[in-house]
């Protein structure tokens, strides 16, 4: 169903983009999660989720990459190569956000581009609930704005 939705005819002025958030470690073993992650233009995951998703894909024989325990960058690269298209975006708490495109991974890139996050002082920090959702919304708003400006 996901692939049918992505490929069905639509207006050129309204391109279809699919963003997928992994959302929880427990769901990474579900084949439907793998289907959505494969089809998505943007896959968002936090650090534990991307590691678990890569391990689940390896467990199903869908990737052959070595996955050193706890190695987020290896997990991102493995998932990006498996996807064949789109971006894998991993939030990592206070560490820089890591982004790797499937095309770059297929061409041999093994390290994602890393973008620093703004640090907050303890006085400014209130709660991190919803931080990933807020990040994803801002990321997608900027991506759509740039795509529209480019005429894509």
Give the residue from 13, 33, 14, 15 showing the smallest Cα distance to 24: 33
Looking at the chain, the whole-number percentage of residues with pLDDT higher than 70 is: 89
100 vs 29: CA distance, rounded Å: 22
Of the candidate ranges 12-16, 33-37, 134-138, the one whose mean pLDDT is the lowest: 12-16
Angle between helices 31-39 and 47-59 (to 10 degrees): 110
pTM (predicted TM-score): 0.85
Whether the predicted pLDDT of 152 surpasses 70: no
Of the candidate ranges 11-20, 52-61, 71-80, 104-113, the one whose mean pLDDT is the lowest: 11-20
Instruction: Tell me what the mean pLDDT of segment 14-20 comes to.
Output: 77
Of the candidate ranges 16-30, 54-68, 100-114, 119-133, the one whose mean pLDDT is the lowest: 119-133
State whether residue 77 is helix, strand or coil.
helix
17 vs 23: CA distance, rounded Å: 19
Phi, psi of 59 (to 5 degrees): -60, -30
């Amino acid at each position: 169903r996901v692939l049918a939705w992505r490929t069905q005819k639509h207006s050129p002025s309204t391109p279809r983009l699919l963003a997928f958030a992994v959302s929880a470690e427990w769901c990474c073993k579900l084949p439907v999660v793998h289907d959505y992650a494969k089809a998505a233009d943007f896959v968002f995951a936090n650090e534990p989720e991307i590691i678990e998703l890569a391990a689940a894909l390896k467990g199903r024989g869908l990737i052959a990459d070595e996955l050193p325990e706890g190695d987020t960058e290896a997990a991102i690269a493995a998932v990006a190569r498996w996807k064949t298209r789109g971006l894998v975006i991993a939030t990592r708490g206070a560490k820089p956000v890591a982004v790797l495109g499937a095309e770059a991974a297929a061409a041999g890139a093994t390290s994602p581009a890393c973008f620093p996050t703004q640090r907050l002082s303890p006085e400014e920090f209130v709660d991190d609930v919803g931080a990933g959702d807020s990040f994803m919304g801002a990321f997608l708003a900027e991506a759509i704005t740039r795509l529209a400006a480019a005429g894509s």
